[in-house]
Amino acid sequence: MAHLLGGENLTVQFATRTVLDGVTLGLEEGDRIGIVGRNGDGKSTLMRLLAQRQTPDEGRVTSRRNVTVGYLDQSDVLDGDLTVGEAIVGDQAEHEWASNSKIREIMGALVGEVDWHANVHSLSGGQKRRVALAKLLIGDDDVIMLDEPTNHLDVEGVAWLARHLKTRWRATEGAFLVVTHDRWFLDEVCTRTWEVHDAVVDPFEGGYAAYVLARAERDRMASVVESKRAQLVKKELAWLRRGAPARTAKPKFRIEAANELIADVPEPRDTLSLNKMATARLGKDVLDLENVSLAYRADGGNDDGGAGAADSNAAAAEAGAAGADAGGEDGATRRELFSNITLRLAPGERLGLVGVNGAGKTTLLRLLNGEVAPTSGRRKKGKTVQTAVLSQEVRELDDVLDLRVIEVIEQEKRTFSVGGRELSAGQLVEQLGFTNEKQWTQVRSLSGGERRRLQLLRLLVGEPNVLMLDEPTNDLDTDTLSAVEDVLDGWPGTLVVVSHDRYLLERVTDRQMALLGDGKIRDLPGGVDQYLQLREAALAVSGAGNGASSSGAASGAANPGAAGEGANGGGATEAEKREARKEINRIERQLGKLASQEEKLHAQMAAGAGNYEDLAELNRKLQGVSAEKDALEQQWLEASELLE
């Protein structure tokens, strides 16, 4: 494969800290590379260097003649005074770009619901991200570099972007680098992984799952080497300390051997360890929404008590684009965000929420938390319930921006009981990756990921028993996400998660529900895959039925039941429904057996981690079980549609 660009002996230092130290690497045609690493370890810095948007302190970046690089910055770099159309296609006439099917597809997928004539500065953060992504993807660059491209994208947007990158070039053409915390996305599109840590870059073959396996094997081998080294250190130091007090002279070679062993001990990497906090008792009643409706004014105001955040902005934009559902007494157009919904949270329930932009996911969390009053219906809260909410913008830290990290935690408590041990606030935040130096950093100077880590810890030490997380994966690196998931895996309280991160949802929640934009909440027995199927089917039916624009397609997607009725010519007969129920029971029994087989295979793979031949055979069996499950789940969906 032909070489496209590369870096030689790249070194970058910030003050006294070395971010990259003598890194040499290259990018060739056909490379699909994901970059992972801790927040602040230099992932974005490495990408900027290779894109020649930053100059290294030492070393150089070289590229093949005429290679073009497209770059998506993590921050907002669009000119706010331009309209959406001008920001994406410049001064091109519509007929110039609209004749290109590739550009039309990108426009429809990313900015179909954005006002083409609106100024960029009036858009929400998610809309600006889509505009910037569309501007990049309509180009014809040889190399694409994407810094957190999935931020602000919903599940559909992430799935579309993955499909686009997989089909953009032939297998041996083009190349891309992507920095993202979305593990599903990394597995879906990447064939190689670069891990940035401790000022070096380690390459791995494969996507995220392969990287995790290889890293585990690397760490296992390192622990064996370290164990041997520790034993030798102890032996040498013990020998040096033996003998009469007057005997101070030791053989020189013994002293040198001990010093070499001690000097060669590597600096410990920061440990990301979120310990499980004590959880207050939950009664049998948690949080219920009973027959709740919520109306939203499309003129920019709202009827939900000021529900801000991205969901509310998107809901207002969608209401304005789709038109009025009803006219308010004051003449303002109104949209019913929720219509007579009932949601009951049980003790220990683990619920994941997905949905289209503007469907009200964030507002639903605010309804559950009592921040927003419904237009009708009621919210019922158990007597022992203590809620905690991690918001998208981490606004809760605005009041403590001038405090230092350690001071923020000490405001809650000075000592904590964790795992049967008493820890100080300093020890606790250190376990979350804040070094002694970082503990005395002001909150306003923290990165987005560090702020989210701090606020999550702040919530957990308050010992809530109902935890609501709104896009918790934003700004967090994969190591931190793994630590967060470890805590949530064993979370004994009730958990509600809004996220576009399929990996997170499938790992930490047992039940998923969808907000499709029709004011209702729908159960998803088939998980995120079922949601994507429903959306695709609804959009296809809407587009075929009335040739609507993207906003029309979105409103059509809100009524999947109608699509099912049309396909079945007026609904199934009672005999067909009885057969469907029998089929569903049969499938569910088979799925239960397959789930048990999966658990056994996973346990066998964990037990035989060092035997690659056995792992390959077990992995083959696991793939077979997964394929059988997928087929059964598809049959389950088809049977369940007959009952609706």
pLDDT confidence tier of residue 253, bands split at 50, 70 and 90: low
Q: Is the pLDDT of residue 326 over 80?
A: no
Record the pTM: 0.65
Return the pLDDT at 568.
Answer: 40
Return the pLDDT at 74.
Answer: 81
Q: Is the pLDDT of residue 314 over 50?
A: no
Return the pLDDT at 274.
Answer: 37
CA distances from 44 to 34, 35, 180 (A): 12, 9, 10
Tell me the CA end-to-end span of the chain in Å, nearest whole number: 53
DSSP 247-309: -----HHHHHHHHHHHHTSPPPPPP---PPPP-----S--EEEEEEEEEEETTS--SSS---H
DSSP 458-509: HHHHT--SEEEEESTTTT--HHHHHHHHHHHHT--SEEEEE-S-HHHHHHH-
pLDDT confidence tier of residue 320, bands split at 50, 70 and 90: very low
Please compute the mean of the pLDDT values over residues 521-536 and round it to a whole number.
Answer: 89
- Of the listed ranges 173-187, 356-370, 580-594, the least confidently predicted one is 580-594
Q: Hey, which of 370-384, 577-591, 595-609 has the most confident mean pLDDT?
A: 370-384
Return the pLDDT at 5.
Answer: 95
Return the pLDDT at 546.
Answer: 45
Please compute the mean of the pLDDT values over residues 476-489 and round it to a whole number.
Answer: 76
Return the pLDDT at 245.
Answer: 47
For 83-108, the pLDDT digits (tens) are: 999 999 988 888 888 888 888 899 98
Return the pLDDT at 309.
Answer: 38
Return the pLDDT at 259.
Answer: 61
pLDDT confidence tier of residue 482, bands split at 50, 70 and 90: confident
Q: Is the pLDDT of residue 16 over 60?
A: yes
Return the pLDDT at 397.
Answer: 87
Q: Is the pLDDT of residue 441 over 60?
A: yes
Kindly state the tokens that stand for 13.
Answer: 């230092």
Return the pLDDT at 201.
Answer: 95
For the chain, give the percent of residues with pLDDT over 90. Answer: 29
Please compute the mean of the pLDDT values over residues 199-228 and round it to a whole number.
Answer: 84
Distance in angstroms (rounded) separating the CA atoms of residues 581 and 525: 15
Just give the CATH number of 3-211.
3.40.50.300
Please compute the mean of the pLDDT values over residues 444-452 and round it to a whole number.
Answer: 80
Pairing outcome for strands 511-515 and 350-355: parallel
Return the pLDDT at 69.
Answer: 95
Distance in angstroms (rounded) separating the CA atoms of residues 68 and 413: 54
pLDDT confidence tier of residue 273, bands split at 50, 70 and 90: very low
Distance in angstroms (rounded) separating the CA atoms of residues 338 and 340: 7
Cβ 27 vs Cβ 7: under 8 Å: no
Return the pLDDT at 327.
Answer: 43
Return the pLDDT at 268.
Answer: 42
Residue extents of the structural domains in the chain: 3-211, 216-263, 572-642
Q: Is the pLDDT of residue 312 over 60?
A: no
Return the pLDDT at 553.
Answer: 34
Q: Hey, which of 209-223, 504-518, 540-554 has the most confident mean pLDDT?
A: 504-518
Distance in angstroms (rounded) separating the CA atoms of residues 541 and 556: 8
Q: Is the pLDDT of residue 272 over 60?
A: no
Q: Is the pLDDT of residue 316 over 60?
A: no
Mean pLDDT for all residues in the chain? 78
Return the pLDDT at 622.
Answer: 82
pLDDT confidence tier of residue 137, bands split at 50, 70 and 90: very high
Please compute the mean of the pLDDT values over residues 356-382 and round it to a whole number.
Answer: 90
Beta pairing partners, 305: none
Using CA of residue 250, residue 251, residue 254, residue 257, what is the dihedral sign?
A: positive
Q: Is the pLDDT of residue 290 over 80?
A: yes
Return the pLDDT at 636.
Answer: 77
Please compute the mean of the pLDDT values over residues 263-289 and round it to a whole number.
Answer: 56
More confident position, 431 or 5? 5
More confident position, 320 or 444? 444
Return the pLDDT at 32.
Answer: 96
Q: Is the pLDDT of residue 343 over 70?
A: yes
Kindly state the tokens that stand for 209.
Answer: 């799952």
Please compute the mean of the pLDDT values over residues 106-127 and round it to a whole number.
Answer: 86
